[in-house]
């Protein structure tokens, strides 16, 4: 197993600070690379949760320009026949989902699709380009035997933090609503009522899940706008306390930002109607070190096979969603990877 990650600016896990700086790339392998490596546990979870165990890996930090030196060589990827989701198919899926939302039981559904392009080899230069273009995202590359996943995720699922009193607490992101940034990297327009509702549903869903789990001191941060590449999202960080941190990932995954609300029913709708398995898209990558956790959602990502490269992208739906607008939003989201792959 090979795993590379460059953490978003200002978001490197505090438990890795002694091993590297904010600009470092961390490499993790099953076997020690040299005597200077440290141990960490990794869990990679698909969209549909399974009983995956934690794997102990050995890590070290390097500079971004050293990535080529350590990048896996002679990796054999399997071939798969995966087709791009046609526009009419996706818009029909969105329209059917909106009708379900209008019934009142489901509050939000995240509709995802796939974009298949000619095979691009998952080279070190792709990872390096993602790091340079998306400093506010967790950039990652993971080989799972059959394929390689690479992406730039703007969304944290869970982070262990220390408050101003030095007390260990936890934090989760509520990120939803999307618009293209203006030429001077500001908001290009006001947020629509649909986008405001979509984000509020995500925040409410996380707060409800944490409350049900028994978390305390739940406190959403002030609302802000988070930029990820050329896109803005509505954003809040939700801090909380718990004496049962080992179960928080199960509590939060999959969030309303990648699934919907109510979560169980939205997930069943997706499984029944989306038509293509998400696999690890919408899942998460989690690091654990001495009972401290850091996990982010697998989105804005591509899966590399021997014969094709598949981009995964989704859009959050409410009862006010337009099939054409949601299609256009997913097109914008694919630019994160397409700009790099075609550069």
Q: For every residue of 238-307, which 3-state class applies, written as one string?
A: EEEECCCHHHHHHHHCCCCCCCEECHHHHHHHHHHHCCCCCCCCCCEEEEEECCEEEEEECCCEEEECCC
CB distance 285 to 137 below 8 Å: no
Range of weakest confidence among 13-22, 107-116, 208-217:
13-22
Is residue 216's pLDDT more than 80?
yes
How many Å apart are CA 148 and CA 280, to the nearest integer? 11
**Residue range 67-90: average pLDDT?**
94
pLDDT at 214: 96
CB distance 51 to 290 below 8 Å: no
| 90-96: long-range pairs with CB below 8 Å, 24+ | 90/323, 90/326, 90/327, 90/330, 91/323, 91/324, 91/326, 91/327, 92/323, 93/273, 93/274, 93/275, 94/315, 94/317, 94/321, 94/323, 94/326, 94/327, 95/323, 96/273
Helices (H), the chain: 67-70, 87-102, 124-133, 193-213, 248-252, 263-273, 323-341
Work out the end-to-end distance of the chain between its first and last CA atoms, rounded to an integer number of angstroms: 28
pLDDT at 1: 73
Burial 324-333 (b: 16+ CB within 10 A, else e): eebbebbebb
**Residue range 2-18: average pLDDT?**
93
**Residue range 50-76: average pLDDT?**
93
Cβ partners under 8 Å of residue 37, min gap 6: 58, 59, 60
Is residue 335's pLDDT more than 90?
no
- Per-residue confidence at 67, pLDDT binned at 50, 70, 90? very high
Is residue 77's pLDDT more than 90?
yes
- Per-residue confidence at 215, pLDDT binned at 50, 70, 90? very high
**Residue range 47-66: average pLDDT?**
93
CB distance 7 to 70 below 8 Å: no
Mean pLDDT across the chain: 92
Beta partners for 42? 55, 287
pLDDT at 32: 78
Beta partners for 228? 231
pLDDT at 292: 93
Q: What percent of the chain has pLDDT over 90?
A: 73
- Per-residue confidence at 266, pLDDT binned at 50, 70, 90? very high
How many Å apart are CA 100 and CA 102, to the nearest integer? 5
pLDDT at 230: 84
How many Å apart are CA 52 and CA 45, to the nearest integer? 7
pLDDT at 51: 86
pLDDT at 206: 93
**Residue range 137-152: average pLDDT?**
94
How many Å apart are CA 230 and CA 180, to the nearest integer? 6
The conformation of residue 78, written as its DSSP 8-state character, comes to P
How many Å apart are CA 287 and CA 262, to the nearest integer? 27
CATH no. for 2-72+85-341: 3.60.120.10
How many helices (H) and strands (E) would you count in the chain?
A: 7, 17
Beta partners for 5? 26, 140
The per-residue pLDDT for range 312-331, each reduced to its tens digit, is 999 999 999 999 999 999 99
Is residue 164's pLDDT more than 80?
no
């Amino acid at each position: 197993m090979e795993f590379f990650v460059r953490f978003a600016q200002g978001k490197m896990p505090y438990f890795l600070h002694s091993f590297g700086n904010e600009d470092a790339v961390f490499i993790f392998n099953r076997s020690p690379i040299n005597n200077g490596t440290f141990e960490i546990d990794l869990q990679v979870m698909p969209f549909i949760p399974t009983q995956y165990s934690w794997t102990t890996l050995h890590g070290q930090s390097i500079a971004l320009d050293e990535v080529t030196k350590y990048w896996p060589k002679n990796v054999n990827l399997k071939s798969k026949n995966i087709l791009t989701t046609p526009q009419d198919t996706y818009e029909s899926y969105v329209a059917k989902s909106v009708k379900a939302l209008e019934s009142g039981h489901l509050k939000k559904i995240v509709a995802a699709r796939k974009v298949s392009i000619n095979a691009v080899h998952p080279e070190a230069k792709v990872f390096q380009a993602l790091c340079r273009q998306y400093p506010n995202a967790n950039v990652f590359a993971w080989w799972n035997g059959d394929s390689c996943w690479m992406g730039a995720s703007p969304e944290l699922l869970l982070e262990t933090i220390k408050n101003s009193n030095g007390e260990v607490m936890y934090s989760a992101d509520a990120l939803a609503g999307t618009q293209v940034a203006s030429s001077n990297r500001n908001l290009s327009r006001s947020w629509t009522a649909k986008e405001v509702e979509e984000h509020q549903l995500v925040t409410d869903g996380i707060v409800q899940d944490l409350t049900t789990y028994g978390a305390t001191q739940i406190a959403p941060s002030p609302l802000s706008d988070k930029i990820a590449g050329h896109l803005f999202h509505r954003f809040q960080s939700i801090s909380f306390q718990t004496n049962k941190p080992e179960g928080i990932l199960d509590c939060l995954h999959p969030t309303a930002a990648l699934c919907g609300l109510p979560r169980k029913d939205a997930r069943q709708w997706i499984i029944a109607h989306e038509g293509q398995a998400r696999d690890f898209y919408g899942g998460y990558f989690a690091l654990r070190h001495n009972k401290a956790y850091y996990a982010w959602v697998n989105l804005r990502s591509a899966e590399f096979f021997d014969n094709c490269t598949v981009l995964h992208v989704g859009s959050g739906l409410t009862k006010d969603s337009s099939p054409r607008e949601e299609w256009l939003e997913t097109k914008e989201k694919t630019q994160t990877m397409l700009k790099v792959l075609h550069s």
